[in-house]
A and B are shown apart, each in its own frame.
Chain A
Amino acid sequence: MLPQKISELKKRLIEYATLVENMIDRSIKGLVGKNEDLFYEVMKRDEPRANNFDREIDEMCTETIAQFDPLARDLRMVLMILKMNKDLERMADHAVNISESGLFLIARPMLRPLDLVPRMAETASAMLKDSISAFIQEDSDTARKVLEKDKIVDDLGDRILQEVTAFMKEEHDGIKRSLHLMRIAHNLERIADLSTNICEEVIYIVEGKDIKHHHGSEI
């Protein structure tokens, strides 16, 4: 019974992750392709569904622990699914934030540094996808590879910050646009961070080893 329950939980989480992956893709494509329909899809259609997933998975986890008293790897799996569920919920919010700022930005002339944002988005979204693949295959090697990419996203974020500040110094009427662009970059950075969380959780499920907060030293 417990194995069934756990594989059901796993399936639900993967479905949730797929929705969130698609939400992030849509919010980025909306920005790059100036397509406001995609933003509305994220905000009006996807976000309520993401919240449903979140509630449902929470409940399923509580039920599983209460009914089956899982041990060892099973317990780790349930606990980490509970955490990943929260990570995904946050990411869905980030996709909504990106869509909101995107709606503001595409209605106005574009700021210069936009070419960095798609690159950052691409890396962040690939990190999420790989972290979910690592979870599906319960593969800690894939998870470790994702952790290394976090730096790329951080660096791109820094570069966007520099370009946006330079722009604000020159052009005072673009400040609101600059802030929205910065908000998008920040949300992408958070998506990348949460993807590394998922990877750490995968490593914990597979190896029973907590590698949080000491990257690089022993992984």
Chain B
Amino acid sequence: MNKVFRNLLLVQLSVILAGFVGLGWALRLSAQQWGPFLLGALVIVLLSGLVLRGMLLRPISRIGKAAEKFAQGDFRGRLPHIRRDELGDLADSLNYLSDELQKKIAEVTKDRTEVKAILSSMEEGVIVIGRDERIILLNDPVYRMLDLRSRDTIGKSYWEILRNEEINSSLKEALLEKKTVRKEIHLLTPADSQFLMQISPVVLEKGDLTGVVAVFHDVTEFNKLAQMRSDFVANVSHELKTPLTTIKGFVETLKEGALNDPQKAERFLDFIKTHTERLELLVNDLLSLASIESKEVEMRWGGVRIPEVVQTAMAICKESIRQKKLTVEISFPEDLPPVRADAGKLEQVFLNLLDNAVKFTPAGGRITVSAVQEGGYVRTDFRDTGVGIAADHLPRIFERFYRVDKARNREQGGTGLGLSIVKHIVEAHEGKVSVQSEPEKGSQFSVYLPLAA
């Protein structure tokens, strides 16, 4: 790159040398005079050449080298500021250029890392696809949501990477027709899940459509909740309707003449009373569930001794235990620490669990209640030798109105809400409840409650 200047320098030096020869000619130098004259001229020319090389060629090549380094992204080198001429100005400009470039690059890098951080911390999956069907951008959640098999996705065609036919045909449609596509996608692998997918055309450069951006929003939980809510309404209506129909039937029979038969009337009124009580029980359970759920009731926290609460609950069940001739074993360690609880609510939990144990244990069976400290919790176990629960029902028994055996449970006078209430109260205590069971062998419910501070 310094060849032009070097050649110019050589030409210039030759011209000066020629000038000297011309001068010698004009002075009509004698043969003896030509020798020293030419030697002197040569010395002058070479000296001036050296000076010019130092002043022009060296700095120019140094500037060139620095610029090359800048281009490679190495901004450490600075050009020394020593001269106040055109080359000095050029060096200054280059230094300035280097500073600005460095700043701009830092800005762009920062923008890019910011965008990347924002995109990967989003809950939604985002994919940007260019007009050439290649993936421009794909954020982290997408890998998990769509179960992608390859980590190397950027620059690949979307149909190589996203292996879901429904998504791919929607993307194709959006790219071809430049339109927005909204769809709910039901994925089967890796887990059953539902996504709301919105694909919108994007303009990345001026004017023309340059691709689409697809956003995936996980609606699995939302759909599940909506389903649970509508199930709940259906269940409540059904549970309320059953006793009401019975009551209505008896009232009508009474009106149609049974009232005149005192014996029949008495029996019918008894039925009506039983069913009204059932209704009351159900409404009470619903109300207490609703109040725990809404967290409106104030909890009366205190240090509670589990053996005392178990005794109170046991006293209530005493009569039915005696009737079924059940053996009850209660054992607590001496040094069992108190738990942080609302004694009244906890009594409701234990009563429900005991009541279930009594109901589902055949006559002559055994119920065992024990407690033990486990880390920051006390675990209270209610074990029975009852009918047990089959494995496929276990995950669902804490759901409202879930019944393992519908006919039997209603016969036993349950509302289908007991375990649901247990779970909600225990959770309000920041504890948890779990169950283990084997059909025909018995069940064990364990309640974990945090220790009192």
Which A residues lie at the B interface, using CB under 8 A? 11, 14-15, 17-19, 21-22, 25-26, 29, 33, 38, 129-130, 132-133, 136
Contacts and interface: CB of A to CB of B under 8 A. Distances in A.
Nearest to A26: B188
Interface string B162-185: 011110100000000000000000
A15 B168 contact: yes
B159 A14 contact: yes
B6 interface: no
B159 A15 contact: yes
B408 interface: no
A36 B263 CA distance: 54
A119 to B, nearest CB: 15
Query: Contact residue range for chain B?
Result: 10 to 19
Interface in B312-355: none
Contacts of A19: 165
A203 B150 CA distance: 20
A92 to B, nearest CB: 12
B188 A21 contact: no
B189 A25 contact: yes
B168 A136 contact: no
B143 to A, nearest CB: 15
A129 B163 contact: yes
Given A14-B160, A29-B188, 12 more contacts: A11-B157, A15-B165, A17-B163, A18-B163, A18-B165, A22-B163, A26-B188, A33-B192, A38-B188, A129-B149, A130-B149, A133-B150
- Secondary structure call for the A interface: helix
A171 to B, nearest CB: 20
Contacts of A25: 188-189
Contacts of B160: 14, 136
A169 B157 CA distance: 53
Contacts of B159: 11, 14-15, 18
Given A11-B157, A25-B189, A29-B188, A18 B149 contact: no
Given A14-B159, A33-B192, A22 B165 contact: yes
B155 to A, nearest CB: 13
Contacts of A11: 157, 159
Contacts of B166: 22
A105 B444 CA distance: 34
Contacts of B189: 25
12 contacts: A11-B159, A14-B160, A15-B159, A18-B164, A18-B165, A18-B168, A19-B165, A21-B163, A21-B165, A22-B163, A22-B166, A29-B192
Nearest to A11: B159
A167 to B, nearest CB: 20
B153 to A, nearest CB: 12
A33 B192 CA distance: 10
A108 to B, nearest CB: 16
A132 B160 CA distance: 9
A130 B150 CA distance: 11
Contacts of B188: 22, 25-26, 29, 38
Contacts of B164: 18, 22
B239 to A, nearest CB: 26
Interface string B405-419: 000000000000000
Residue from A33, A130, A136 having most chain B Cβ neighbours under 10 A: A136
Nearest to A20: B165
Contacts of A26: 188
